A and B are shown apart, each in its own frame.
Chain A
Amino acid sequence: DAGVTQSPTHLIKTRGQHVTLRCSPISGHKSVSWYQQVLGQGPQFIFQYYEKEERGRGNFPDRFSARQFPNYSSELNVNALLLGDSALYLCASSLAWGSDLTDTQYFGPGTRLTVL
């Protein structure tokens, strides 16, 4: 079975540009979460979506937005890129939302974003 997939694997952008990162959850999973992991730090929670609705939001500026599609895949958009946005962006999927039994998150390999 395919795990969580993310694209692209690497990306280089310049300050002020816009970026879109993509995530496909494990088949049958309906919830997707996004995390930012700066080198040497733990992942920081950005968003969680379930059934195409935002269910959780971390402490990130409005430059960060996301959406979930009817097939449960998701996009993370970041506008007006800053140097500090350089990080590994991780997507995690879970079966559902709201129950400890179904909320175990499985992470994708991440997208490494470098902002120059």
Chain B
Amino acid sequence: EDKVVQSPLSLVVHEGDTVTLNCSYEVTNFRSLLWYKQEKKAPTFLFMLTSSGIEKKSGRLSSILDKKELFSILNITATQTGDSAVYLCAVRNTGNQFYFGTGTSLTVIP
């Protein structure tokens, strides 16, 4: 069965800390891995990763994919209270189906 597993399920940090969120997957016919941030309702797109070892970076956020070990990490440096959200990882297969993990709930305390 195809699945995406995220860890930890929840995380509480202080402003300024660096966090690493994990996403492992077992999806047949992998095509791409995506990260989203969900604050209230609509998930907002962060990154799409298709190749191993190439880091995607946007401000304080960065992500990398390891297709051999079947995982990805999302790093957030110098966290701010505005980073508090649920971070979702999704994997798309070549059949155009998307599999989401349950998310990591991040709380950043001032």
Contact = CB atoms under 8 A, between A and B. Distances in A.
Interface of A: 4, 33, 35, 40-45, 48, 55-56, 58, 88, 90, 97-98, 100, 103-110
A57 to B, nearest CB: 8
Contact of B45 (A35, A98, A106): A106
Contacts of A88: 41
B44 interface: yes
A105 B36 CA distance: 10
Given A42-B100, A45-B97, A56-B97, A100 B48 contact: yes
Interface string B22-49: 0000000001101010000111110010
A28 B52 CA distance: 31
Interface in B71-110: 88, 90, 92, 95-103
Given A90-B43, A107-B42, A110-B42, A45 B48 contact: no
A2 B4 CA distance: 31
B62 interface: no
A35 B36 CA distance: 14
B31 A100 contact: yes
A48 B96 contact: yes
B44 to A, nearest CB: 7
Contacts of A104: 34, 45, 48
